[in-house]
A = this chain, B = another copy of it.
Amino acid sequence: VNLILIERAEVGDGGVVLLSDARADHLLNVLKIAVGDRVRLGVLDGPCGSGTATAVTAGTVMLRCAFAPDAPVRPRVDLILALPRPKVMRRLWAPIAALGVGRIMVTNASRVERNYFDTHVLTPACYRPLLIEGLQQARDTRLPDVSVHRQFKPFIEDDLDRLTGSGLRLAGDPAATGRAADAVGKRRDERVVLAVGPEGGWNDFERDLLSAHRFERISLGPRTLRTDTATIALLALVHHALA
């Protein structure tokens, strides 16, 4: 944890915050906080700041906090992810949030098993704490928006423009030859939507639909990677190309 995140409603008058849950445990047992010590804090979807411990008990920490005037900028990459198997999806929430995305759109595809959509990994109760874990790692406060799209075609045709607007659209595809750096090229000021396909790849229909909606296909090279590795690798490449 490189940044403790708190909810806006937890900030009381004069910037006083009282913690008594896992965050207090972390401050007490990992950081060994004492009265007068300062720690980094952030308000979820709000600004970063710092808090000074004003009282410490066995299970609670009271902090007086001050925050920057503005929240950090929302990450400029949005992610479309063909739902991987639940165990992999569960493991991906935190690193995706750490790498930085504005929105995560989980979608179906021909090579996704339908019953994956009925698992608890797509419930906010599961993914919200994992996204917050990723933000705390990366010192960000911007919780990615999450939406789930059980039908690929209406998602791409009817919802995508509204959810992501204009900007560059890239689709990871092992069969492609385009490079992420070239695709971003001179468009480094735009937002990017990155689509990562299922373990077995997009089928022809999906590939054509993506092309028809302005997605450029980019490759990670000749080596086939598991979805979780490929997602992290592609997000890193796109962020690097935008930087």
Binding site for B on A (CB under 8 A): 2, 94-95, 98-100, 137-140, 179-181, 220-226, 228-229, 232-237, 239-240, 243
Closest 3 CB pairs of A and B: A233-B236, A138-B223, A95-B229
Q: How far is the CA of A111 from the CA of B79 in the complex (A)?
A: 34
- Min Cβ gap A88→B in Å is 12
The residues of B that contact A239 with a CB separation of less than 8 Å are 221
Identical subunits present: 2
The residues of B that contact A99 with a CB separation of less than 8 Å are 223, 225, 229, 233
Q: How far is the CA of A216 from the CA of B227 in the complex (A)?
A: 30
- Min Cβ gap A115→B in Å is 18
Given contacts A2-B224, A223-B139, A223-B140, contact A98 B229 (CB under 8 A): yes
B179-A98 in contact (CB<8A): no
B137-A179 in contact (CB<8A): no
Instruction: Determine which of B95, B226, B228, B237 lies in contact with A236 in the assembled complex, contact meaning CB atoms within 8 Å.
Output: B237
The residues of B that contact A138 with a CB separation of less than 8 Å are 223-225
Q: How far is the CA of A99 from the CA of B243 in the complex (A)?
A: 23
Given contacts A236-B232, A237-B237, contact A243 B179 (CB under 8 A): yes
